Structure 1
């Protein structure tokens, strides 16, 4: 278990993490979400003792990281994909980690096989692709067979097979009763992997809840209806006290989860339905809704060349007018 209590980190005037309190529990995959600059990486670094908190506390199974004897046997982490010497082989990199934490050499062979790097175990890591680097980083996290695992963007550089593998591996580790804490910007992947979410924005906690509750609280649920008897159905719904909104594409929308009631009403009044489908926002849509006010870096699309040209001409005319004045 990872416990954060009032965790705060300042860099001069910049507050990277602001009074963050939450608990990452065993037995589930906890997703760690937030916009760029939200403080996710800083939080993970403080958990591992790489950065010292300005205020607050963080404990790993009740202890600070620097109190852990052989820490790789308590917590394994992937924070940077290429945190190794490029002149070392994958096997030697893991052997060094194993010897520093009292882990038997036989475990190196096991994790290399688990991540699919046995065939390149003796090759120097400087020739590794990004995906191979991710696999080696994951092998390092698994090396001590820890009860707690922490991954920052674990699917970067992986092919579809690799993404499927890491997703199932994290679920399997959580099913064994381990604590799994994973940060990612890939919302579609997080939706398939995480059971619980911790969401931060500008260093502050925005949500600490289950995946279904997070989506339900931060999105709109409605029923979409298509029918060739639209006016007839509108009358039927109105008589039943149900408000339907006509959409521009010929469909009707009813807020809330009333699909069964609508279907029964339509059948009772012999209204033909071509579509009756409950709609729920995706994790990405709910995340965007919640964090809209917390995004620090906004991108703005450039105006197309044909739109820029009149603007430049206008600016040149203003310049000529100013010089004449």
Structure 2
């Protein structure tokens, strides 16, 4: 288990992490989400003793990281796939880690096989693709057979087969009773992998809840209905005091009722239904809803960079801004 209590990190005037308190429990995959600049990487670095907190505490199975003997046997982490000596082979990179933590040499062969790198074990890491580097980093995290695993963007650079593999690996590790903590910006992948979510924004805790509860609490759920007897269905729904949203594309939307309730009501009134389906927002939509006010970096669509601003009401547009000079213009200086 990872226990975070009042964790705070300040860089000068910048508050990167602000009074975070949560626990990462064994037996489930816990997703760690937040917009860019939310403090996720800083938090994970403090968990591993790479950054010293300004205030607060982090414990790994009840101990501070710097007090763990052979820490790779307690917690394995992938924070940066490039954090390796490029001149070493994959085998020697892992062997150095193993020897520093009292891990048997035979374990290196086991994890190379687990991540699918046995065939390139003797190749230097500097020649690895991004995906191969990710696999080697995951092998390093697994090396000590730890009870706690921490992954930052583990699917980065992996092909579809690799993404499927790491997803199943994380689920398998959690099913063994291990603690699995994973940060990712890929919402679709997180929705398929995580059971629980910890969400932060601008360094503060925004949510610490199950995946299902997070989506339900931060998005709209409704029942979508289509019927060839639309007007009759509207009359019946209104008569029962059910508020209906007409979408203008032939479907109706009803909040606060189960599909079963609507189906039984339609059946009692002899109404044919062509669609009766529960609708719920995706994890991405729920995340965007919750973190809308915590996003630090906003991109904007519209006019290209360098374009003049649109004219004010009643103002005539001015001449276009001069562009780059081509042809013989360069001779004029």
Give 1:311 deviation, angstroms.
Answer: 3.9
- Counterpart pick for 1:314 among 303, 313, 317: 317
After superposition, the Cα gap between the structure-2 partners of 1:228 and 1:204, relative to the gap in structure 1 and judged at 3 Å, is same
Aligned to 2:86: 86
For residue 199 of structure 2, give the secondary structure of its aligned residue in structure 1. strand
- Whether the 8 Å CA contact 1:24–1:30 is kept in 2: the answer is yes
Q: Retained in 2: the 8 A contact 1:198–1:208?
A: yes
2:175 maps to 175
TM superposition shift of 1:204: 0.1
Report the 3-state secondary structure (helix = DSSP H, G, I; strand = E; otherwise coil) of the residue aligned with 1:314: coil
Return closer, same or farther for 1:296/1:239 CA change in 2, 3 Å cut-off. same
Structure 1 Cα separation of the partners of residues 307 and 76 of structure 2: 51
Quick one: distance in 1 between partners of 2:108 and 2:202? 39
Q: Which structure shows the bigger proportion of residues in helix conformation?
A: 1
Asked if 1:292 corresponds to 2:295, the answer is no
Aligned 1:42-191 pairs, distance under 5 A: 42-191=42-191
Asked whether the 8 Å contact 2:31–2:198 carries over to 1, the reply is: yes
| Residues in 2 aligned to 1:7 and 1:17: alpha-carbon distance in whole angstroms | 7
Q: Structure 2: any 5+ residue segments left out of the alignment?
A: 322-333
Task: Please give the alpha-carbon distance, in whole angstroms, between the structure 1 residues aligned to 2:64 and 2:309.
Answer: 61
Matches of 2:172 and 2:74, distance apart in 1: 18
Q: Following TM superposition, by how much is the alpha carbon of 1:104 offset from its aligned partner in structure 2, in angstroms?
A: 0.3
Contact between 1:221 and 1:257, CA under 8 Å: does it hold in 2?
Answer: no
Tell me the equivalent position of 1:245: 245
**Change over 3 Å in CA distance of 1:175–1:241 after alignment to 2:** same
- Say what the alpha-carbon RMSD is for the aligned residues: 1.8
CA distance in 2, matches of 1:283, 1:234: 31
Partner of 2:193: 193
TM-score, structure 2 as length reference: 0.92
1:279 and 2:279 aligned: yes
Distance 1:78 1:4 in 2: 19
Q: Please give the alpha-carbon distance, in whole angstroms, between the structure 1 residues aligned to 2:284 and 2:197.
A: 13
Alpha carbons of structure 1 residues 317 and 297: separation in structure 2 relative to 1, 3 Å: closer
Structure 1 unaligned regions, length at least 5: 319-325
Whole-angstrom CA distance in 2 between matches of 1:91 and 1:115: 12
Alignment of 1:201-280 (within 5 A): 201-280=201-280
Distance in 2 (CA, whole Å) between partners of 1:310 and 1:3 is 51
Match of 2:328 in 1: none
Secondary structure of the residue that 1:277 maps to in structure 2?
Answer: strand
Inter-partner Cα distance in structure 2 for 1:52 and 1:46? 6
| Cα distance in 1, alignment partners of residues 52 and 214 from structure 2 | 31
Contact 1:30 1:196 in 2 (8 A): yes
Further displaced range: 264-273 or 120-129: 264-273
Q: CA deviation at 1:241?
A: 2.0
Runs of 4+ in 1 over 3 A off after TM superposition: 307-318
Superimposed CA distance per residue, residues 156-199 of structure 1 (whole angstroms, 9 cap, x where no aligned partner) = 00011100110010011011111000000000100010000000
Alignment partner of 1:52: what SS?
coil
Contact 1:10–1:16, Cα closer than 8 Å, also in 2: yes
Classify the secondary structure of the residue corresponding to 1:214. Answer: helix
> Which deviates further from its counterpart, 281-290 or 296-305?
296-305
- Greater CA drift, 268-277 or 140-149: 268-277
